[in-house]
Amino acid sequence: MKNNKARYSFLSILLILSLQLFNSCGPSVRLTASWSDRNVQPVRFTKILVMAIGKNLEKRKLGEDNIRAELQKHGLAAATSLDEFGPDFAKMNDSVKMRGILRDKQFDGVVTVRVLNVNEHDRWEPGSAYYDPVGFYRGFYGYYYRVWGYYDEPGYMVTDVEVLLESNLYKVDTGELLWSGQSKAFSRNPTTEMANRYAKNIVNDMVVKRVLIP
């Protein structure tokens, strides 16, 4: 009986882990909406700056590096604000001065990224009841009967996280907004895979909408 209970517990743990793994295989970040100015002629940028706005330098670097790499895969020259100007450049409030600095460095396009909102809420995942064979019993007539046991799997608390991200593409000379996209991520702590997927999503959409010409 004890061995069967242990086996059941082990199988239950495997089931929970496999369900969590299955859920984690879904997209951890996705582009939910995008807009482009169709009145502006497609631009072939010569040099694009990638600038993530926020307080966490590690997350900013992760985002900037992956977007730069994705732009370069499309044959576009790109650099990150952290590498070119340091962490305080993104905090500048003087847009005219910022555009002057960018022009001096031969940047004609800017991709910005920032977090719009973070939503978190807890929910209760109810447990389940299972029946599992615990052994066999030989009856009076010599037949073997399967004996079933009843087990209850307890529920647990889950925290759902939804992070809204905004990406914009600007033309440096005029300050025009050429493209804007909103994405949803499902973790406060982006991994390299998430940052890579985010970069692919937004750059591919810009290329498809012809606001970026590879």
CA terminus-to-terminus distance, the chain: 67
pLDDT exceeds 90 at position 73: yes
CA distances from 120 to 24, 154, 158 (A): 17, 23, 10
pLDDT exceeds 70 at position 155: no
pLDDT number for residue 84:
97
Give the homologous superfamily in CATH for domain 28-123+157-208: ABC-type transport auxiliary lipoprotein component (3.40.50.10610)
Label the pairing between strands 109-125 and 29-36.
Answer: unpaired
The average pLDDT across 60-83 equals 97
In whole angstroms, what is the distance from residue 185 CA to residue 53 CA? 16
- What confidence tier does 52 reach under pLDDT thresholds 50, 70, 90? very high
- Range with the largest mean pLDDT of 15-29, 120-134, 157-171, 177-191: 177-191
Secondary structure, 3-state, 69-105: HHHHHCCCCEEEHHHHHCCCHHHCCCHHHHHHHHHHC
pLDDT number for residue 60:
96
What is the reported pTM?
0.72
- Tens of pLDDT along 202-213? 999 999 999 999
pLDDT number for residue 53:
95
pLDDT number for residue 20:
44
pLDDT exceeds 70 at position 27: no
In whole angstroms, what is the distance from residue 13 CA to residue 10 CA? 5
pLDDT exceeds 80 at position 126: no
Percentage of the chain surpassing pLDDT 70? 69
The average pLDDT across 50-79 equals 97
pLDDT number for residue 109:
96
Reading the block at residue 153, the tokens are 């799997």
**Average pLDDT score over the chain:** 80
pLDDT exceeds 80 at position 157: no
Instruction: Give the CA angle between residues 178, 94, 166 to the nearest 5°.
Output: 40
Closest Cα to residue 48, out of 21, 28, 75, 11? 75
Which residue ranges make up each domain of the chain? 28-123+157-208
The average pLDDT across 47-74 equals 97
Q: What is the CA radius of gyration of the chain?
A: 26
Closest Cα to residue 209, out of 29, 67, 35, 70? 35
- What confidence tier does 167 reach under pLDDT thresholds 50, 70, 90? very high
In whole angstroms, what is the distance from residue 214 CA to residue 212 CA? 6
